[in-house]
Chain A
Amino acid sequence: QLQVQESGPGLLKPSETLSLTCTVSGGSISSSDYYWGWFRQPPGKGLEWIGNIYKSGTTYYNSSLKSRLTMSVDTSKNQLSLKLTSVTATDTAIYYCAKHRIGGTFYSPLDYWGQGALVTVSS
């Protein structure tokens, strides 16, 4: 059974860089054909797509975050990572990593989600 787990610092100060890791177990990123997505959800609010990444490192970013965002993949560790620079209070959210259901495309729903990592930005 595939499992996904996000990890990262819970508290950041404004202007710092957010770094999150998504560890995948029960399946190999490199030997499968799935895209992976990052999403976030401010407390009590709805879901926002951050971006997608493929095992090759090909990325697709939400234009609203593109200037501050870097996503990468480490297939040797079976991990994905997200970096968001110059954070502000509006970046406070639960950050999720999720797998797209259909191989070879991110135009597909998300079938495996991590439990999420709460990131709070506060001075």
Chain B
Amino acid sequence: DIVMTQSPESLAVSLGERATINCKSSQSVLYGSNNKNYLAWYQQKPGQPPKLLIYWASARESGVPDRFSGSGSGTDFTLTISSLQAEDVAVYYCQQYYSTPITFGQGTRLEIK
């Protein structure tokens, strides 16, 4: 199984400042034949299901604000929120869909400082 490890576990950032969340996979999720990283990021607010933000490590889902961006390749990935808004308070998860079992990171709780 591919283990996904996120850091930090929790993060407090001031409004308007940058938030950065890291995700590391125990093996590469880069598929050589199409050069795509099988890595997604989700946002989960209390009482709600996960919401897809980023897929293929850096492709933004339709309707997601452009302050959200994803980067990285192979085993190391980053989700960046360029200017934190109040509505961004949530838990963020990375997920690999390179192989089964599909696995998620343990989550990073993002709060306002």
Q: Which residues of A approach B to under 8 Å, CB–CB? A: 37, 46-49, 52, 60, 62-64, 96, 98, 101, 106-111, 113-116
Contact = CB atoms under 8 A, between A and B. Distances in A.
Contact of B49 (A60, A63, A106, A115): A115
Interface residues of B, number: 22
Nearest to A107: B97
Contact of A110 (B52, B106, B107): B52
Contacts of B99: 107
Contacts of A49: 100-104
Given A107-B99, A111-B52, A114-B49, 14 more contacts: A46-B104, A46-B107, A47-B50, A49-B102, A60-B100, A101-B52, A107-B38, A107-B97, A108-B97, A109-B97, A110-B50, A110-B52, A113-B50, A115-B48
Interface string B80-113: 0000000000000101011111111111000000
A111 B103 contact: no
B101 A62 contact: yes
B55 interface: yes
B61 interface: yes
B49 A113 contact: yes
9 contacts: A46-B93, A46-B106, A47-B50, A47-B93, A49-B102, A64-B101, A107-B97, A113-B51, A114-B49
B40 interface: yes
A38 B68 CA distance: 27
